[in-house]
Chain A
Amino acid sequence: DVKVTQSSRYLVKRTGEKVFLECVQDMDHENMFWYRQDPGLGLRLIYFSYDVKMKEKGDIPEGYSVSREKKERFSLILESASTNQTSMYLCASSFEGRNEKLFFGSGTQLSVL
């Protein structure tokens, strides 16, 4: 079974803190993604990566950065957390290829106070 592991299920941080969300996949997937999910807005892509040390902006990259130093690990960084970044954060990964499927981690519910 594909396993995408997110380091924290629930996280509470204060405004202005630097926040790291970690994601590890064990299937040697080339592609990794970070989404946030908010009620009524669906899944929105923050950043994605097709390879080590490579990153591409998604639809809502402002206020976020990412790091992919190893193929299996993709980190999302909130440089200075704000209350409007309170959300469910979902990491996902897939193989390269037109018919390859996307697999999600269990998600991190982040609350910024």
Chain B
Amino acid sequence: QKEVEQNSGPLSVPEGAIASLNCTYSDRGSQSFFWYRQYSGKSPELIMFIYSNGDKEDGRFTAQLNKASQYVSLLIRDSQPSDSATYLCAVKGGNQFYFGTGTSLTVIP
């Protein structure tokens, strides 16, 4: 069974701070890595993807991948109350996607 682990939280940060979300995975053959945001009662929405070691930035979001450590993270800069959601880490191996159980983030105004 391919495992994807996330700290379930809840993670609370003040507005304007950096939120750091972490994910580890068990399968060294994993190819692609994704972050989804899920608001309560809604479906997951893709916000970031990363395929190579290093950092990838998109606006206030930065995804970081370290394949040697089997670790992927998501940084949210200048956190806003609208960022309050559950963040799901997903890892792709072959044609299948493996999900963590998500980290709940609350941004406090």
Task: Give the Cβ gap from B49 to chain A, nearest Cβ, in Å.
Answer: 6
Residues of B within 8 A of A33 (CB): 97
Residues of B within 8 A of A103 (CB): 46
Q: Is the interface of B mostly helix, strand, loop or mixed?
A: strand
Check: A106 CB closer than 8 A to any chain B CB.
Answer: yes
Chain B's interface size range is 20 to 34
State whether A99 touches B31 (Cβ < 8 A): yes
- Bound form: Cα–Cα A98–B45 in Å: 19
For B101, give the chain A residue with the smallest CB separation. Answer: A42
Check: A64 CB closer than 8 A to any chain B CB.
Answer: no
Interface string of B83-109 (1 = CB under 8 A from A): 000001010100111011110000000
State whether A96 touches B101 (Cβ < 8 A): no
State whether A104 touches B100 (Cβ < 8 A): no
Which of B34, B36, B92, B102 interacts with A98 by CB under 8 Å?
A: B92
- Bound form: Cα–Cα A33–B34 in Å: 17
State whether B45 touches A96 (Cβ < 8 A): no
Which of B90, B100, B102 interacts with A102 by CB under 8 Å?
A: B90
* Residue contacts A-B, CB under 8 angstroms, 8 given: A48-B95, A48-B96, A94-B95, A98-B32, A101-B46, A102-B97, A103-B46, A104-B45
Beyond A101-B34, A106-B42, 20 additional pairs, beta carbon < 8 A: A42-B88, A42-B102, A43-B44, A43-B88, A43-B99, A45-B96, A48-B95, A50-B95, A90-B43, A94-B97, A96-B95, A99-B31, A99-B32, A99-B49, A99-B92, A102-B46, A104-B44, A104-B45, A105-B43, A107-B43
Chain A positions within 8 Å of B, measured between CB atoms, are 31, 33, 40-43, 45, 48, 50, 90, 92, 94, 96, 98-107, 109
